[in-house]
A and B are shown apart, each in its own frame.
Chain A
Amino acid sequence: MAQIELDNIQRIFQLGDSEVHALQDVQLRIDAGEYVSVMGPSGSGKSTLLNLLGLLDRPNDGHYRLEGRDVTTLSGDEQARVRRERIGFVFQSFHLVPRLSAEENIALPLLLAGISPHDRKARVAQALNDFGLAKRGDHRPDQLSGGQRQRVAIARATIMQPAMLLADEPTGNLDRATGEEVTQLLEALNGRGVTLIVVTHDPHMGERAHRQIRMEDGRIESDSQRPAP
């Protein structure tokens, strides 16, 4: 059984009078621990696919089984719980809460899950260490560099030890060197067993993934496995 199973997924947006098929008949199997890049031109449906995988969006038709469980029929609150416990998001624009310190931003998922302040403190301290942010814990996002911000965001995405990381253009707002640093960080996490799915425009980054999916007009055009190194 694959970790992610998508069957006949349809996603249709109503734009005025016209319907836009953002996803058409998408079939996809992703195993636990895979490293997948999703590429394609703008409007090809790759972001919609990522939102769907992250349970931020629901398909109009089809089934999504996550770890064997059909999550398309779950209630909003149950989906929130799955997001909280199994899924980590990394965004292009980091999405840090500007008034909160790096520590507090990282602690947000723990806060939402109702983890006790004591446990929170220990886990956040560990995460700050792991991501080289030990001295930046009390800095607000506007006092951090772009790379540090994205590291805070990744620390936040992984603090609940999710089964998969969904990254939407994670290096889009970073310079080349910092982007490389962040990519290596994500790959290191993948190396420890977390499924990594990256949506990107950047062919260089896309080619680093072991498995590359190309999308066009809401369909999966190609799905190629790079031979294991």
Chain B
Amino acid sequence: MMRSRDILGFATRAATAYPMRTGLMMLAMAIGVAAVVLLTALGDGARRYVVREFSALGSSLIIVLPGRTETGGVGAGSFVTNTPRDLTVDDAAALLRAGSVTRVAPLVLGNSEIAYAGKLREVMVIGTTPAFADIRNYTVAQGRFLPEEDWRRGSAVAVIGATLHKELFGAEPALGNMIRVGDRRYRVIGILAASGSGLGMNADELVIVPVAAAQALFNASSLFRIFAEARSRDAVPGAKTQILDILKTRHDGEEDVTLITQDAVLGTFDRILGALTLAVAGIAAISLAVAGILVMNVMLVAITQRTSEIGLLKALGATGSIIRLVFLTEAALLSIAGALAGLLLGHLGAWGLRLMFPVLPAYPPDWAVFAGLGTAIVTGVLFGVMPARHAATLDAVDALSKR
């Protein structure tokens, strides 16, 4: 019986004897694998980028929403009323008593009109407290953020985003000037540093006023949200319980708020982008199937070209299984070489991607690399089986008479 090393050697010689054919086949396989590696690197890079950005916002953030979104059992409170109570500034202030909570910022949100020197535009207004800047990591480029004061007082001052500043004031100094928002006038005391678009709201186009000022502006006594920051990431679950307890007591024993943590949002994004990466990998894998069909074609052509050689091998005493093995080995070798070349190509592409977009951590995930390589080799061998069997069953006399 033929030695496996000799089979390997013979197949290698056969593969390298036709460089054009071998090169084309390897290229097809390489493009498939490179596509998988590169696209998953892109997808996974995007996922990591989003996760990192989210984490930068502070993963110890807890957002309190009015109203319940979860179904609960029957509590004492449920007999009293079904309509959720609004969140108030006093609720927010009460949260500061929770031991695991370090910062609290109430949030009022609304759209209004902003005007300065005859220029007018629609703008998003946020009413909050000084802690909000720390919670959202805002930096002030000029002036200062909202002053520490009684949350119910609401002095007529405003901090504006960088874009807004440019549009309203241009090159003029803005600090100290009066702007009109809705029917009220505010003195500009600070300008936020340009931050690019944040998630959800663009800080560059915001007007931030004290919470009481915003409530007066929108004529509302309720809050849109309360942002609370736990002492650390590990303290988040404890802080949640404490927040719930405090609000439950304040709302006559009814648990009528919903808490969202950064982790939950993060997890959702993580899942969505992970699924996206998987989908992209699947699409790229189709090109591997195409490459597999190409392997089959090339091997069939090779067998037609080498028919007389197959006849000779049979005359020299090669069994059908030896011939099958020789051609299968050749197909496998070509697939493996192509897959490895593709891996190199994909990593090179991902490297180029990282060079072009340094913020994007475009590294292909390990599973994608293994899946890409595995699929390439399996399809190559699988599609090599049919041609190899065909070669093994050729009639020796007919094969020998072929030129």
Contact = CB atoms under 8 A, between A and B. Distances in A.
Interface of A: 51, 54, 56-57, 76-77, 80-85, 89, 91, 93, 95, 97-100, 104, 108-109, 111-114, 116-117, 156, 160
19 contacts: A56-B314, A56-B315, A76-B319, A77-B319, A77-B321, A80-B319, A81-B317, A81-B319, A95-B308, A95-B315, A99-B13, A99-B14, A99-B17, A100-B13, A111-B6, A112-B318, A112-B322, A116-B3, A117-B6
Contacts, number: 71
Contacts of B17: 98-99
Given A89-B316, A112-B322, A114-B1, 7 more contacts: A56-B400, A83-B317, A93-B403, A104-B13, A108-B313, A111-B10, A112-B317
Contacts of A108: 313, 316
Interface string B369-402: 0000000000000000000000000001100100
A54 B14 CA distance: 27
Contacts of B316: 83-84, 89, 108-109, 112, 156
Given A57-B397, A99-B14, A112 B320 contact: no
A205 to B, nearest CB: 21
A56 B317 contact: no
Interface of B: 1-3, 6, 10, 13-14, 17, 308-309, 311-322, 396-397, 400, 403
Q: Per DSSP, are chain B's interface residues mostly helix, strand or loop, or mixed?
A: helix
B309 A97 contact: yes
Contacts of A57: 396-397
Nearest to A89: B315
A112 B314 CA distance: 10
Contacts of A82: 317
A97 B2 CA distance: 18
Nearest to A105: B312
Given A57-B397, A91-B400, A97-B309, A113 B317 contact: yes
B396 A56 contact: yes
Nearest to A99: B17
A51 B397 contact: yes
A116 B13 CA distance: 19
A212 B17 CA distance: 43
B313 A112 contact: yes
Closest 5 interchain pairs by CB? A84-B317, A99-B17, A83-B317, A80-B319, A56-B396
Nearest to A115: B3
A84 B319 CA distance: 10
B2 to A, nearest CB: 5
A111 B317 CA distance: 10
B14 A80 contact: no
Nearest to A80: B319
Given A51-B397, A83-B315, A111 B308 contact: no
Residue of A111, A113, A116, A117 with most partner-chain B CB within 10 A: A111
A72 to B, nearest CB: 16
Contacts of A100: 13
Contacts of A81: 317, 319
A83 B317 CA distance: 5
